Structure formats: C-alpha cells, structure tokens
Structure 1
Amino acid sequence: MPRDGEPGTTGVDPARLWLRPDEPRRGRRPSFSREAITAAAVTLADAEGLEAVTMRRVAAEVGAGVMSLYSYAPDKETLLELMVDHVSGELPTTDPLTGDWRADLKAVARLQRDLMLRHPWLPAALSTRRTPGPRTLAFLERALAALRPTGLDGAAKLEIFAQLTAFVAGHVGHEIAQAATARTTDRGAAEARYLAAVAADGHHPELAEALSAPGRPLTPEATFTRFLNRLIDGLDTT
C-alpha cells in the first residue's frame, strides 16, 4: 500500500528515468530541479537514514508541494534510483589504471567502501536491483577497464563487478552496525568472555584452536583489507 500520499508503483522505467531531459512538464519552469530534489533526499538520508526519506519530507526541504515532486520522481523507488546515481558521482573515474588488474580492482573496492561510509544508507539502497544511471555507468566503465587484462568475457566481468559490489555493501553494512553497537554497549568484551568459556569446555576443539591463534589487527580498515585480498586474490580468470 502506498504511504505518505505517494501513488502506487509499477516499477522504474530505465529509459524514461535516465534518457529523458529534466523537463517534467510544459508551462512555467519550476523553481527547483530533479538534481535539487535528489540532493535534498541524499542530505536527509545522510542525517537521518532512509526511513526519513519520504516525498513529504523532501518536498519540505526544497520548499515545494508534495504533488509537484511526482513529475520528477513519481515514487520513492525512483527517488532511490536517483539518489544512488547522485552519490556515485563522487567516485573518481579518470585516474589512470596501473594495468595490474587485482590492484586496480582492490582500488575500486576501496573507493566503493569510502563512498558507502560517507553515505551509510547506500548499502541498504543497493540491496535491491538498481538500474545504473550515467554516473554509476561511468564507474562501471572504470571497473570493466580494470578487468581488461584478465581476458575474461563481458559477462564474467560484469559478474565480478556485481560480486565485488555486493561484498563491499555487505561488509560496510556490517561495519556500520558493529560501530553503532560498540557506541552503546560493551558487547565486544562480553562476547570475548563467552567464547573463551565455550572454547575451554572441551567440546569445541576447532574453536579453541582458532581462538588460540595469534591475533590480527581488528581495525575496520585492516579487516576489510584482509577480506578483500582473499576475495580478489582468489578469483579464477581461467
């Protein structure tokens, strides 16, 4: 059921969304634009999360009537598409590649992580299928160019990029949730005590051996780097 006065949706038409000019209707040109509406929605999501982004709230941010927004973004799903592509414009696309596809792909992943940490709502927004807009496509071009030395076919390259993006989104979502928990509880210390007790009970020898191994840096950056290296270094391009 539609909420907040929003009409029902039948899915986003990519051609209509991305290939039409930013002219929603005939008559007097309005005092706001699709870009301004999208930027306001991004600012709202950055500050309060995706749940705060409603057509009513965004309209208030740009000083427009709710109904006037529908000619730019007929529903929240369309607005989310616009938001994802808007922030994708922060990703650099012109820096030269090194020719080492693994190093270049890791750089792509780190750029994605940085973007998602700046916009914590982005991993959730990417959890459903999104149609790449012009800014997203520019970054996809860079990722595909990074994979050119592999000799893989186009379908495989697209699969790798999708796999990489899903990994980064999942990792950052977990990273954000863990940071939020750490700010409000002492769960990390309690969990460590619990696992130590379980490992000492004699019934979990594999866990006991794993916990007795030398510790590794647990900073978010170090953990992400380890996981990323395992993913990309293990890719089979044969």
Structure 2
Amino acid sequence: MAGRAAEPEVIWARPERTGRGPKPGYSRADIAAAAVRIADAEGLDAVSMRRVAAELGCGTMSLYNYVPRKEDLYELMMDAVSGEHELWEPSGDWRADMLRVAHQTRALMHRHPWLPGLMSPVYGFSPNVLRYLEHCLVCLDPVAVPSGTKMELIAMINAVVTMHAGTELSTAERTRSLPWSAEQEHAVRAAYLGAQLASGAYPRTAAALAEYAEPVDLEAAFERTLGRVLDAFDPAGNRH
C-alpha cells in the first residue's frame, strides 16, 4: 500500500520533509491545517489523503512523502488542535486550574466536533500534547499524591470532558437532522416517559427523575461531575 512504512514509526521522530522542485514544500502545520479545515466542515470521514492533497494543491503520492500513513495525518490533526490550549501560569489553586483546563478542552471539542472520535492514547504524546500534559502536572503540583495518580486524574478529567462533549455534539447533530423541532421531539418523549413512570413499574427511577422536573442544566451537571472526580483524587480534602 502506498506510503505504508515497513516498520512502525512515530512521525515526530522523522525529519520534516522539505519539498523540492518548482512547487514550494508543505510544512506539517500546512498539512494539519488543511485536514482540520476539512474535518471541521464535513466531519472526520471526509478526511482522506486524496482530499487533503487536493486541498493543498498537490498530488496524493506527493503527500505521502510528508505523511506516510493516514494514522500520521490524524496525529498531526490532534497535535494541531491541542496547540489551541491556552497555557497560563498556574494559580496555586489546583482545582480551579484543572476546571479551567477541562472547560478549555470542552470548548475545543465544540470547535472541532470530530475531536472526541479521535481521543486515544495512541495520539497522546505529540509535541503540543506533551506541553499540555506538562502544564496540567504543574497545575497539580500542590496535590500531595504520586505523579502516576496525577496522570490518572488528568486521564479521568479528559474522559469526563469527552463523554459530556460527545453527548452534547451527538444530540445537537441528531436534532439538526429531525424534520420537526427539538421541542416537539422532547415533548413526545417526555409524554412517553411520564406514562411509563406513572405505571408504578419503575418506582426508584421515578423518584430519581422527580428531582429533574426542570430541564437539566448541562453546565451545572458538567461542574458537578468534574467536582466529584477532583474530590476522589484529593482524599485529604485540600482545596489549594
């Protein structure tokens, strides 16, 4: 298969190719930006080596000289959007800092709706991701737990963010595809659920859902979930 390396390799360990000939070369940043534009506009399935090459104005085989595999293209995309994280001087309040990180990551996923589908440890150690990870660990300096435990905390925060953002994005996408309004869809489903709960067959579920008579505040739910994760990793109860 064209561009398939004979052995596993990491694209960051390869020298960045400079194009030769009459046409200017393309940087990895150029390639990543083109792929991200396509994914943002049309979804991850629209991203292919052929499509990215066309976006850049080069031949598909020429692109393989810069990016040997599609997996490498995904890694370039992940690194590019990870570079959008704002890295600030930690405040000393580790909870506030990690909540800020989480909100930034959630906003990043809403800007790039394809991102939750690519979240994987496989793409976890590119240059911008490593800078992000180091920043998180500096934010967590005040927490008296082992470094490995801090890594687990960062992973759990990312998992919570990915879950919430993924649900929000998929719900929004489904709503847009309906031939009727979201309010109509919600009303029909609420009526069905109300009838099932009124039957008495699900008393515990009815009691639990009774606390949500009003529409769920997604922001508040996001904050509560993150707070519980942070609490679990701070057994001494240190808030700063």
Q: Quick check: TM above 0.5? A: yes
Identity among equivalent pairs (%): 43
Question: Does the C-alpha gap of structure 1 residues 210 and 62 become closer, same or farther in structure 2, counting only changes over 3 Å?
Answer: same
Rounded Cα–Cα distance in structure 2 between residues aligned with 1:213 and 1:224: 17
What is the number of equivalent residue pairs in this alignment? 230
The DSSP-based 3-state class of the residue aligned with 1:150 is coil
Rounded Cα–Cα distance in structure 2 between residues aligned with 1:234 and 1:198: 35
Q: Which amino acid aligns with 1:218?
A: V
Rounded Cα–Cα distance in structure 2 between residues aligned with 1:11 and 1:77: 14
Asked if residue 180 in structure 1 is aligned to residue 173 in structure 2, the reply is yes
Tell me, yes or no, if the aligned pair for 2:153 and 2:230 is still in contact at 8 Å. no
Asked if residue 59 in structure 1 is aligned to residue 59 in structure 2, the reply is no
Q: Which amino acid aligns with 2:208?
A: A
Query: Which residue of structure 2 aligns with residue 152 of structure 1?
Result: 145
Counting only pairs closer than 5 Å after superposition, residues 154-233 of structure 1 correspond to structure 2 as: 154-185=147-178, 186-213=184-211, 215=213, 218-233=216-231
Rounded Cα–Cα distance in structure 1 between residues aligned with 2:94 and 2:130: 19
Asked if residue 80 in structure 1 is aligned to residue 80 in structure 2, the reply is no
TM-score (norm 2): 0.86
Query: Which residue of structure 1 aligns with residue 181 of structure 2?
Result: none
How far does residue 11 in structure 1 lie from its aligned partner after superposition?
Answer: 7.7
Tell me, yes or no, if the aligned pair for 2:156 and 2:229 is still in contact at 8 Å. no
The DSSP-based 3-state class of the residue aligned with 1:195 is helix
Rounded Cα–Cα distance in structure 1 between residues aligned with 2:174 and 2:99: 28
Tell me, yes or no, if the aligned pair for 1:217 and 1:223 is still in contact at 8 Å. no
Tell me, yes or no, if the aligned pair for 1:199 and 1:205 is still in contact at 8 Å. yes
The C-alpha deviation readout for 1:95-151, integer Å capped at 9, x for no partner, is 222212122111111111011110001100114621421111111111111111112
How far does residue 203 in structure 1 lie from its aligned partner after superposition?
Answer: 1.3
Q: CA RMSD for the aligned pairs?
A: 2.3
Tell me, yes or no, if the aligned pair for 2:49 and 2:63 is still in contact at 8 Å. yes
How far does residue 155 in structure 1 lie from its aligned partner after superposition?
Answer: 1.2
Q: Which amino acid aligns with 1:228?
A: L
Asked if residue 139 in structure 1 is aligned to residue 140 in structure 2, the reply is no
Query: Which residue of structure 2 aligns with residue 33 of structure 1?
Result: 27
The DSSP-based 3-state class of the residue aligned with 1:173 is helix
The C-alpha deviation readout for 1:64-117, integer Å capped at 9, x for no partner, is 000011121111111000100011111011x22221212211111111101111
Rounded Cα–Cα distance in structure 2 between residues aligned with 1:142 and 1:128: 18
Question: Does the C-alpha gap of structure 1 residues 18 and 157 become closer, same or farther in structure 2, counting only changes over 3 Å?
Answer: same
Rounded Cα–Cα distance in structure 2 between residues aligned with 1:169 and 1:214: 23
Tell me, yes or no, if the aligned pair for 1:45 and 1:121 is still in contact at 8 Å. yes
Question: Does the C-alpha gap of structure 1 residues 169 and 9 become closer, same or farther in structure 2, counting only changes over 3 Å?
Answer: farther
How far does residue 216 in structure 1 lie from its aligned partner after superposition?
Answer: 5.5
Asked if residue 90 in structure 1 is aligned to residue 88 in structure 2, the reply is no
Asked if residue 21 in structure 1 is aligned to residue 15 in structure 2, the reply is yes
Unaligned runs of 5+ in 1: none
Which runs of structure 1 show a deviation greater than 6 angstroms over 4 or more consecutive aligned residues?
none
Question: Does the C-alpha gap of structure 1 residues 127 and 190 become closer, same or farther in structure 2, counting only changes over 3 Å?
Answer: farther
The DSSP-based 3-state class of the residue aligned with 1:140 is helix
